[in-house]
Amino acid sequence: MTATSTIILIAETLTAQLNAERIQAMQVAQELTKKFVELGFKVVPQALWAIGILLITRFAIDVAGRVTRRTLSRTEATLRKFLVQAAEIVILIVGVVAALNQLGIQTTSVVAVVGAAGLAIGLAWQNTLSHFAAGVMLISLRPFEVGDAIEAADVKGVVDSIGIFSTTVVTDDRIKIIVPNNQLFNGTLKNTTAMGTRRVDLKIDIGDRPIRPTMAELLEIAHSHPLVLENPPPTCLVAEITPDTTILSLRPWCASVAYEQVRSQVQEHVKEAMNANKNQAQ
């Protein structure tokens, strides 16, 4: 075999191999194109459906927010805001899970992971969640409202605001105190303005003065005060008698918001009247 024949044979062999590889590559490319097309026809509709579900979810959140606000228009503002947010979050979670399911993602494992994370967060925020639950109960049951004077958790003052986690109380000397809701809900709470009126209990030491005339004088002082109510009327009773003195209990009624003022001024008037009588006796 001549050299020329050998070269021609090698060239034909290489050409055949190249043609075979090219044909194989074209077949692979065709298969990949076919797979991509099939995947596109499968994935694109799923993606479009998922996007549609998310758009519907967004629309549903807006509608649910408006309906909830309108339905709960007479509900306390803090509770209404919480319920609206809760409804929106529930709808969002349902929509996201439905979109993932449409994409073919197994939502069971996602829900399990979210549940485990929620449990861990719940354990870490146990005290915070208890304050949150107490705040919802306080807003729902309304043992006090903004503007009420309360005594609870070693705090005495006027309620400035009621939040989900804490309540703000302003004391008589204008100090703002933040009280965790759990302490207010689980402890003893005294609302001194809830009834609208309040009785002022005063102990008056009259010494050896005659009882009945002094009682009449004290009642006259109470009646003369402009903030003392006529109904219920003031009363005056004998609280204690000892060998050395007699103590009377003067009980005028007033509006709850005027309690401190009435208590101070009636005591002042009683003291002035008793001092005047004492000077006249001397």
Q: What percent of the chain has pLDDT over 70?
A: 74
- Supply φ then ψ for residue 159, to 5 degrees: -70, 125
> 104-141: per-residue pLDDT in tens?
776 666 666 666 666 665 555 567 778 888 888 888 78
Question: pTM here?
Answer: 0.57
Burial 245-280 (b: 16+ CB within 10 A, else e): ebebbbbbbbeeebbeebbebbbeebeeebeeeeee
> 209-226: per-residue pLDDT in tens?
899 999 999 999 999 999
